[in-house]
Structure 1
Amino acid sequence: MTQLISREQIAAAAERLGPVVRRTPVIASRVLSERIGQQVYFKCENLQRTGSFKPRGAYNRIANLSRDERERGVVAASAGNHAQGVAWAATELGIASTVFMPVNVALPKLVATKAYGAQVHLAGETIDDALVAAREYAEHHGAVLIHPFDHADVVAGQGTVGLEIIEQIPDVATIVVPTGGGGLLAGIASAANYLAPQVQVIGVQSASAAAWPSSLAAGQPVRAESMQTMADGIAVALPGVVPYAHVKQFAHSVQTVSEEALSRALLLCMERAKLIVEPAGAAAVAALMTSALDLELHGPVCAVLSGGNIDPLVLTHVLTHGLRAAGRYLAVRVTIPDRPGGLSRLLGVVSETGASVLDVVHSRTTPTLALNEVEVMLTVETRGPAHRQDVLDTLSGAGFTVSV
């Protein structure tokens, strides 16, 4: 049976981390407060060192190594936040670190991990492949493998986020936490249990990569079959044994959100809170935006923004997805007659709706077109779902064949 971490272990982690990690701010969110009828705050771990909460657990784990273990160095496998957390923590403690990352890792994350001091090796196509390589390296070189979530010291380190929330929002009633392997959820739920047991702590996963609901139902960690999500930071197929014991004991539940909700949450964080958040880091916001939490919410509510490390190219894609999901971006195919003035008439109809044209692609070579037809790919900016539907209705009413 897994031994649960104690209040003293979390307190010791907080004392150890105090001089080296940031006490990240808590920011009130008026737009979400109005939407759910409760005061909502953001806990901004996206503003933590290395851009996520990960250095807390990594530093606490590495700082507790023996002198012999430190001399042997540490090794980790990650595609992003854990890699940077381990590299930074090891360098802070004067310990050599090696990190294995998939060959398709985002360039900014690769560069950042090297900049924090790690020796980086690219191995395999997935995190699982990189983890195999990291384990082999540990066996051959004697380095200590630093697991991203499945260790008591890591859970205790992440629990310091919970300590800070309870100190910063003394009357907090609900804490909503992005959840992957479970280290952050386990740590926050444990801290809340010891300091404020009346607080309900809820985990959030992408519905497309949700291992926790089935695992909790089964009474043990169960591997998820699908991991198709933009929120790669919480796309963990198998929950950790150590986090599982704490989540089962102390957390209220784990809920899921859609990909559209994640992209809309990221957009809200940027537009309304002026915060850059990665899709995984926005999972708690997505749950609050969509009322995905299948329970009565008690306020004040704290949504943890767990990370802000996002590739600019991915950010562009996700923002476009978020705009489309919010009804503010519409891409359609419109078939028009192939004669002078056809395109001009189409754009005139769009102009009458008040939509702003972003892009027009004119094609005569689509195989399904008749000889006297042209296909136009039209991208417009709209003011919301109602306006988006108005544009579609107006185009159809004007006699155009339209497909979204």
Structure 2
Amino acid sequence: MPDQLPVTLQDVRDAAARIAGVAHRTPVLRSRTLDRLVGAEVRVKCENYQRVGAFKFRGAYNAVSRLPADQLASGVAAYSSGNHAQAVALAARELGTTAVIVMPEDAPRAKREATAGYGAEIVTYDRYAEDRVAIGQALAAERGLALVPPYEHPHIIAGQGTAALELIEDVGELDALVVPVGGGGLIAGSAVAATGLLPGIRVVGVEPEAGDDTKRSLEAGRRIAVPVPRTIADGQAAEIPGELTFSVNRRLLDGIVLVSDDQIREAMRFAFERMRTVVEPSGASALAALLAHRIDPLPRRIGVVVSGGNIDVRRFAELLDG
């Protein structure tokens, strides 16, 4: 393994400068009830208030805005279950180009409609029988588009890391940072920012029980694939960690904890009832880990990333009634 990480703190700072004034600087919330239930001081970074309703806009804009002019003019392509799809679609629109997005047939309706609403063309596939990466690569090659991956790119990782950069700039010292894990881009960028600014901080990832590919991979010391996860946390339904993201995460993470779908539902309910904020299942997993007392030993000051809030009212009610 090379000594130099593929993304540095300076890369995250450069990304922050590039997205400033385009992406939102999202709020950090505090709940006394949450502190009491967890037994620690918790600072909640609310990426559900980001443009497109999720952290993904940070990395997508950072990556798309750095494309050479001729590639940008030709258009971009991406594959995503929803949030990256919307992020690339909006970044393309902001930068005056077009986007084609490969999305699973069962992607949440709200995410499909929002992606189309930003002007993107949508191509669907069966996530349980087809390979989205192969489809996206073939489509990009056929149409001459620049492929913007959801996490396997230094500019994506650096952009996602700006969420943790902002959090630490706003709240100062933290003993631990707890972050949802799907493909690993958010936690990789967050870990680069957090460990660069606060040496000694613990960085803990959270996965759904059905999709524990990163946990297994860290324990094995190599990337491990799992069957396509069936979980309400659709944004975390990854089969295998990214090669680039894993190269960062295996060096910087202190561990991965798992949460059940029921625990995710309870975190969504808590965020809505006690913090008056709507969080999608993938976005709620890190909060679920705190409420379920999965972080051991328990630090005194914890930062937690709520990564997104893209869910329609019907699906939200259905999950909380389930």
Q: Output one character per residue of 1:154-204: Cα deviation in whole Å (capped at 9) or x when no partner.
A: 000001011101111102211110110000000000001111112211100
Which residue of 155, 166, 169 corresponds with 2:168?
Answer: 166
1:225 CA drift (Å): 2.5
Counterpart residue identity of residue 120, structure 1: I
Output aligned runs, 1:44-123, within 5 Å.
44-123=46-125
Q: Output one character per residue of 1:271-305: Cα deviation in whole Å (capped at 9) or x when no partner.
A: 00011000110011110111112x21212111111
The number of equivalent residue pairs is 320
Match of 1:31 in 2: 33
- For the 8 Å contact 2:178–2:302, the answer to whether it is kept is yes
- For the 8 Å contact 1:14–1:160, the answer to whether it is kept is yes
Q: Which has the larger displacement, 146-155 or 61-70?
A: 61-70
- Does residue 232 of structure 1 match 2:240? no
Q: In structure 1, what is the Cα distance between the partners aligned to 2:152 and 2:171?
A: 28
Match of 1:315 in 2: 316
- Does residue 276 of structure 1 match 2:278? yes
Which residue of 285, 291, 294 corresponds with 1:292?
Answer: 294
Match of 1:206 in 2: 208
Q: Secondary structure at the match of 2:224?
A: coil
Counterpart residue identity of residue 318, structure 1: L
Q: Output one character per residue of 1:229-256: Cα deviation in whole Å (capped at 9) or x when no partner.
A: 1101111111111111111111211111
Q: Percent of aligned pairs with the same residue?
A: 38
Q: In structure 2, what is the Cα distance between the partners aligned to 1:190 and 1:292?
A: 23
Counterpart residue identity of residue 139, structure 1: A
Change (3 A) 1:127 1:20: farther
Q: In structure 2, what is the Cα distance between the partners aligned to 1:77 and 1:128?
A: 12
- Does residue 302 of structure 1 match 2:303? yes
Q: Secondary structure at the match of 1:280?
A: helix
- For the 8 Å contact 1:101–1:127, the answer to whether it is kept is no
TM-score between both structures, scaled by the size of structure 2: 0.95
What is the CA RMSD across the aligned residues, in angstroms? 1.5
Match of 2:267 in 1: 265
- For the 8 Å contact 1:149–1:240, the answer to whether it is kept is yes
Q: Which has the higher contact order (CA 8 A, sep 6+)?
A: 2
Q: Which has the larger displacement, 193-202 or 282-291?
A: 193-202
Q: Which has the larger displacement, 28-37 or 42-51?
A: 28-37
Write out the 4+ residue segments of structure 1 that deviate beyond 6 Å after TM superposition.
none
Match of 1:255 in 2: 257
- For the 8 Å contact 1:79–1:127, the answer to whether it is kept is no
1:33 CA drift (Å): 0.5
Change (3 A) 1:54 1:277: same
Match of 1:242 in 2: 244
Q: Output one character per residue of 1:22-48: Cα deviation in whole Å (capped at 9) or x when no partner.
A: 000001021220012211121100010
- For the 8 Å contact 2:173–2:198, the answer to whether it is kept is no
Q: Secondary structure at the match of 1:139?
A: helix
Q: Secondary structure at the match of 2:191?
A: helix
Q: In structure 2, what is the Cα distance between the partners aligned to 1:62 and 1:139?
A: 17
Counterpart residue identity of residue 5, structure 1: V
Q: Secondary structure at the match of 1:303?
A: strand
- For the 8 Å contact 2:228–2:237, the answer to whether it is kept is no
TM-score between both structures, scaled by the size of structure 1: 0.76
Q: Secondary structure at the match of 1:46?
A: helix
- For the 8 Å contact 2:54–2:307, the answer to whether it is kept is yes
Q: In structure 1, what is the Cα distance between the partners aligned to 2:79 and 2:175?
A: 35
Q: In structure 2, what is the Cα distance between the partners aligned to 1:229 and 1:273?
A: 24
